[in-house]
């Protein structure tokens, strides 16, 4: 009901779409992974330069990138683990709740080995949170499938923007957004796009989710055996950098 209220209100008063982001706790900002911990414009510019180099490597080694628009390449790499200027969202509240109820545990020099564990209700771990993010959806670019833009943000639906051999966006009902800006003038904090926050007691959230297979790590992060696009990215991995990371191995 809360999500529906905001969807209706902002769609009719400004043309915004409301999407979801599940988190196990609230942070002081909403920064894309590429800009987290960044304090100077010089460092920000360097990170963008490193990202550009990594993207060029994938375009050179993965022929599949020649089959869909270059404007969606960065967002696709974000969805599979590379740090970029985009932030992951979903348009399914249950998937958002799953992310809010699980803790990502990583290892490796660049946190490339990732595993998800169910959170345990306790004194210091009581709530699950769902952020409701407002994104401009006034304009849909007919030449860029799945791409929506407005005065303040860009939204990309990878289920339309990338070939369906990339299975993860479909499994997660996944989209991405970022605040607009030029390369050297993009905001590093998108928290002004938060339109509401749902706080749910963790034990209630776990009960609502249940234990169905459709909401499991295996289903939400299909392994390379099923996700052909994931296999291509893993098989043609670019050089690891401490600035933008690499394609993550889920469950490894």
Mean pLDDT of 207-227: 91
pLDDT for res 219:
93
Is the model's pLDDT at 156 over the cut of 70? yes
% of the chain beyond a pLDDT of 90 = 62
Q: What are phi and psi of 36, to 5 degrees?
A: -70, 130
pLDDT for res 237:
75
Is the model's pLDDT at 122 over the cut of 90? no
Q: Which range is most confident: 9-18, 189-198, 207-216?
A: 189-198
First and final C-alpha spacing in the chain: 38
Is the model's pLDDT at 158 over the cut of 90? yes
Domain count, the chain: 1
Report residue 186's pLDDT band, with 50, 70 and 90 as the boundaries: confident
159: Cβ–Cβ under 8 A, 6 or more apart, which residues?
146, 169, 170, 174
Q: How far is CA 69 from CA 3, 58, 64, 147, 244, in A?
A: 32, 14, 11, 11, 21
Report residue 184's pLDDT band, with 50, 70 and 90 as the boundaries: low
Q: What is the mean pLDDT of the chain?
A: 90
Q: How far is CA 20 from CA 74, 87, 174, 211, in A?
A: 20, 11, 10, 21
Report residue 88's pLDDT band, with 50, 70 and 90 as the boundaries: very high
Closest CA to 176 of 152, 153, 144: 153
Q: Of the ranges 39-48, 74-83, 179-188, which one carries the lowest mean pLDDT score?
A: 179-188
pLDDT for res 252:
53
Q: Of the ranges 75-79, 88-92, 235-239, which one carries the lowest mean pLDDT score?
A: 235-239
For 95-114, write each residue's pLDDT tens digit: 999 999 999 998 887 778 89
pLDDT for res 239:
65
Is the separation of the CB atoms in 54 and 247 below 8 Å?
A: no
- Indicate the angle between helix axes 202-209 and 93-100, nearest 10 degrees: 130
pLDDT for res 141:
80
pLDDT for res 140:
82
pLDDT for res 182:
58
135 φψ region: left (φ > 0), alpha (ψ -120 to 50), beta (else): beta
pLDDT for res 245:
80
Closest CA to 48 of 79, 14, 84: 84
Residue 75 corresponds to which tokens in the numbers above?
């967002």
Task: Look up the domain containing 44 and give its range.
Answer: 2-250
Report residue 221's pLDDT band, with 50, 70 and 90 as the boundaries: very high
Is the model's pLDDT at 32 over the cut of 60? yes
Q: What are phi and psi of 94, to 5 degrees?
A: -70, -35
Mean pLDDT of 137-160: 90
pLDDT for res 226:
95
Rg (CA), the chain: 18
pLDDT for res 173:
94
Is the model's pLDDT at 1 over the cut of 60? yes
């Amino acid at each position: 009901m809360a999500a529906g209220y905001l969807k209706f209100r902002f769609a009719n008063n400004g043309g915004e779409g409301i999407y979801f982001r599940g988190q196990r706790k609230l942070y002081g900002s909403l920064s894309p992974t590429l800009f987290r911990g960044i304090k100077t414009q010089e460092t920000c510019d360097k990170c963008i330069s490193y990202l550009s180099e990594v993207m060029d490597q994938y375009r050179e080694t993965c022929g599949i990138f020649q089959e869909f628009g270059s404007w969606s390449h960065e967002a696709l790499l974000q969805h599979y683990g590379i740090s970029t200027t985009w932030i992951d969202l979903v348009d399914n509240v249950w998937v958002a709740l799953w992310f809010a109820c699980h803790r990502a545990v990583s290892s490796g020099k660049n946190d490339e080995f990732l595993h998800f564990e169910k959170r345990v209700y306790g004194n210091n771990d009581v709530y699950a949170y769902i952020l409701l993010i407002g994104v401009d959806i006034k304009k849909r670019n007919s030449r860029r499938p799945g791409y929506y833009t407005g005065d303040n943000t860009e939204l990309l639906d990878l289920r339309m923007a990338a070939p369906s051999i990339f299975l993860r966006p479909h499994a997660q009902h996944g989209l991405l957004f970022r605040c607009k800006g030029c390369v050297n003038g993009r905001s590093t904090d998108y928290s002004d796009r938060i339109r509401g926050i749902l706080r749910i007691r963790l034990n209630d959230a776990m009960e609502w989710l249940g234990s169905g297979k459709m909401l499991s790590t295996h289903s939400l992060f299909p392994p390379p055996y099923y996700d052909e696009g994931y296999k291509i990215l893993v098989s043609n991995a670019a050089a690891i950098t401490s600035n933008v990371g690499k394609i993550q191995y889920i469950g490894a």
